[in-house]
Amino acid sequence: KDFDSKLDELRKSRFRLAAEMCSAELRLVTLFEELVLLKDFEEQDEQLSEAFAKCRREKADIARMMIFAQGKMEDKKKALLDNRSKEEEVRSKFNKQFVEFKGQESPYYSKMVKILEHTVKIKSDEESEGDDESSVSTIDPDNLNEDQLGKPPDEEDEYDGSLPQGCDQQLYDDVKKLAEENRPNVEEKAYLERSIRDLTEKTLALSTRMRKAEEALRASDAKVIQAQRQKQQRLNQLSVVVALHAHQIEFMQQIPVNQTDYGTDLPQSKIYGKKNQLQANEQQQIQELKTDKSDKSNKQEEQHNESESEEVNEDVTWALRSDFTDATVCTTGQLNKLFKNIEDAHSEKLKNIDILKERKGELKNQKINLREMRKELQSKQDELRGVQLLMFGQVVDHDNLFKWSASRSTEELRVAVAKEEKQLQQEYVDEADKLVGYRQRLADLTRRNTAELKQLEEGLAEQHEIEKALTMSMSKITADFPSLQPSHKGVTDKMRLEKTLQRQNAEIEALRQEIFVLRRKGGVWHQ
């Protein structure tokens, strides 16, 4: 028997290793197909990544250029405002100087203004002649006032800028000197206006480039997403093989040995058929182990007798069905455990709901008490108002009264109401904290109960091992000391003890099977 059991274990190990090797080979084929597919997409991914990175760099460069141009434009605008303030100072100085001589009503005032404007016009023309011939005037007529625009060309040509007849020579020289001093301001103004216009055009061009770069970036991103989607679709089209263990399937059937692939390779087919039958009846054994111990032992003996009677039939064995469309790839033990967890969670939820309802009821009562106290306070205030009308004929202004005197009773009542409200608020917070503590305590008790159940299971397993060792020791001692064997007078006691020993052995075997079943988790065998 030991030889047959070891041989059976070796066969099982060989089959298991062969299945694992086959699964590994199939997985290797799948990985190789994925590698070939990824190699095909590698060049496309690199091109798309480079294009996307290039678009991002271009967008960042354009953004930096726009920030630099805008900052420079702000500086130029500030400088232009300073230049205009200087020009206004020159004009005010001119007006002040002319008033000192003749006043604004003088007939020479308009000619002096023409001299100043004509001189400025001459200087700006000289500056424009020094620039490129393709350049245009940088002065924006929309931003100039009437004094800066000057007179039409026909009116300017009427006066050549010479000394008017009867005008003071000193005034004429001062105006020409002032126009010469204003020449740097005019040149700076022309330069600033030209710079602002160039920067504005550059900013508009950069904005156009930014929009194009953003469109290119979005298009590149869409291409990357589309390529990734295509690659994932191709990967999803690959065939994946999943190996299942026999004990993960609940559907098995009896077939003749001569119709199986392993009938010639297994000379002891009766042992293989017996083991497969035991595996197929695992769920029935689990249900039997949950019943009463006395009934359990009787059922186990009956099942053992049935299995022994089936050993004679060597022509029938158990095998998996060919159609698994309606099969469940899951063990019943896992489903029972899941259902139990769901029931525990549901019961815990109901308990928490009851506790919450109780706390809400208490809070509602407290709010009702608070409302009654406020009504009582309102009635007291109405009574006080009636007393004031009887005593004083009018309602006393409490605000003014509190400014000049203190009402001790009112203050005490306010303090009492505030204290009561604070106490009720604190009680509400404490009850909420207690509810959180109860929930935490319930979770801790659940975890502790789970740990204790696990320890109890381990203790039962150790107890079964000790009882088995004790039984074997007693059998060995009885065999070594024949004198301890019962006499002919104790035949009845011997038979009774043998039956008891057989029953205990059957119980031990059933418990061993239960431990064996409980050690299997999710299709993995724990030894």
% of the chain with per-residue pLDDT over 70: 63
Mean pLDDT, rounded, for 46-68:
90
Using the predicted structure, report yes or no on whether residue 244 has a pLDDT greater than 70: no
Higher-pLDDT residue of 147, 69: 69
DSSP string, 307-365: HHHHTS--SEEEEE-S--TT---S-HHHHHHHHHHHHHHHHHHHHHHHHHHHHHHHHHH
Instruction: Give yes or no for a contact between 523 and 247, defined as CB atoms under 8 angstroms apart.
Output: yes
Element spanning 413, H or E: helix 408-480
Q: Cα(431)–Cα(16) distance, rounded to whole angstroms?
A: 59
Residue 329: band (very low, low, confident or very high) from pLDDT cuts 50, 70, 90: low
Instruction: Specify the pLDDT at position 242.
Output: 64
* C-beta separation of 66 from 207 below 8 A: yes
Displacement of CA 142 from its chain's centroid (Å) = 56
pLDDT at 526 over 70: no
pLDDT score, position 124:
39
User: Of 187, 164, 188, 165, which Cα lies nearest the Cα of 176?
Assistant: 164
Residues 218 and 351 in one domain: no
Name which residue leads in pLDDT, 410 or 234: 234
The band of 356, judged by pLDDT with boundaries at 50, 70 and 90, is: very high
Last residue in a domain, options 220, 236, 252: 236
Flag whether pLDDT at 203 surpasses 50.
Answer: yes
Q: Are residues 231 and 351 in the same domain?
A: no
* Same domain membership, residue 345 and residue 210: no
What does pTM read for this prediction?
0.36
- When mean pLDDT is compared across 248-262, 264-278, 443-457, the lowest value belongs to 264-278
Kindly report the number of other CB atoms within 10 A of residue 317's CB atom: 23
Residue 236, classed as helix, strand or coil, is helix
**Same domain assignment for residues 227 and 349:** no
The closest of 271, 343, 283, 342 to 312, measured between CA atoms, is 271
Answer whether residue 380 is part of any domain: yes
Q: What value does the mean pLDDT take over residues 105-109?
A: 62
155, part of any domain: yes
Is residue 39, in this structure, part of any structural domain at all? yes
Contact 344, 445 (CB under 8 A): no
* 102 and 218 share one domain: yes
pLDDT for 390-413, tens place per residue? 887 777 776 776 666 656 777 788
Nearest 10 degrees: Cα torsion 332, 337, 340, 344: -160
Classify residue 219: in a domain, yes or no.
yes
Say if 324 falls within a structural domain. no
The pLDDT, as a whole number, for residue 114 is: 67
Tell me if 161 is assigned to some domain. yes
pLDDT tens column, 216-233: 889 989 998 998 888 888
Query: Which of the listed residues 236, 261, 280 is the one where a domain comes to its end?
Result: 236
Choose one of 192, 208, 236: the last residue of a domain: 236
Average pLDDT in the chain: 73
Longest Cα–Cα distance of the chain, Å, equals 172
Are 360 and 227 contained in the same domain?
no
Least-confidence region, from 124-138, 165-179, 293-307: 124-138
Strand ranges in 117-275 using DSSP code E only, listed in sequence order: 252-256
Residue 312: predicted pLDDT: 40
pLDDT at residue number 104: 47
Using an 8 Å Cβ cutoff, are 142 and 57 in contact?
no
Higher pLDDT pick, 213 / 269: 213
More confidently predicted of 264 and 74:
74
Look at residue 161 and tell me whether its pLDDT is greater than 90.
no
Beta partners for residue 255, in sequence order: 317
- Give the domain range for residue 337: 332-485
Residues 474, 342, single domain; the answer is yes
Would 514 be classed as within a structural domain? no
Q: What pLDDT is attached to residue 108? A: 67
Q: What is the pLDDT of residue 286?
A: 46
Structural domain count, the chain: 2
In a domain, 336, yes or no: yes
Residue 376's pLDDT band (cuts 50, 70, 90): very high
Neighbours of 46 (CB within 10 A): 10
Q: What is the mean pLDDT of residues 377-394?
A: 84
